[in-house]
Structure 1
Amino acid sequence: MAEAVYILCALTSLACAVLLMRGYGRSRTRLLLWSGLCFVWLAVSNVLLFLDLVIFPEGDLAVWRSASALVGIGTLLYGLIWDLP
């Protein structure tokens, strides 16, 4: 059951990223770009979570998962603070 939750979380993050990037493509609103890139990195983090706990349980990908989530949040933070109109 946990495996299904990991996959659904990754798919949800990916769907959010796709929708945000499509919105950016239409309106060219920079906040949509930064939010979309953040969700791309969060989807990567969720995929790494699935790989870490289900596919490679003997390995430890916690550092990579945390790093990808940090890059995603950092991307959004950059967009919110320094990319002012």
Structure 2
Amino acid sequence: MPELIYLLCALTSLLCAWLLLRSYRRSGFPLLFWSGLCFSALALNNMILVLDKLVFLDVNLSIWRLSSALVALMLLLYGLIWQDD
């Protein structure tokens, strides 16, 4: 059952990233771009989680997961704080 949840989380974040970036392409609103990049990095984070928990059982990928989550949040923070309209 956890395998299904991990995969659904990865697919959901990938879908959110795609929808946000598609909406940015249509409207040009910068916050959509930064949110789309954030969700892309979160999708990468979820894919690394799937690899960590299901594929590479003897390798610890937690530093890679935490790094991708940090990059995702830093992208969103940059978009929220330093981008002006």
Question: Which runs of 5 or more structure 2 residues have no equivalent in the other structure?
Answer: none
**Equivalent in the alignment of 1:59:** 59
- Alignment partners' CA distance in 2, 1:24 and 1:84: 15
- Alignment partners' CA distance in 2, 1:7 and 1:62: 17
Query: Normalising by the residue count of structure 1, what TM-score does the alignment of the two structures yield?
Result: 0.99
2:84 aligns to what SS in structure 1? coil
CA RMSD of aligned residues (A): 0.4
Q: 5 Å matches for 1:32-51?
A: 32-51=32-51
- Deviating beyond 3 angstroms after TM superposition, the runs of 4 or more aligned structure 1 residues are none
Query: Normalising by the residue count of structure 2, what TM-score does the alignment of the two structures yield?
Result: 0.99
Give the letter aligned to residue 14 of structure 1.
L
For residues 33-83 of structure 1, what are the alpha-carbon distances to aligned partners after superposition, in whole Å with 9 as ceiling and x for unaligned? 000000000000000000001100110000000000100000000000001
Give the letter aligned to residue 18 of structure 1.
W
- Alignment partners' CA distance in 2, 1:57 and 1:74: 29
- Alignment partners' CA distance in 2, 1:7 and 1:65: 15
Give the letter aligned to residue 24 of structure 1.
Y
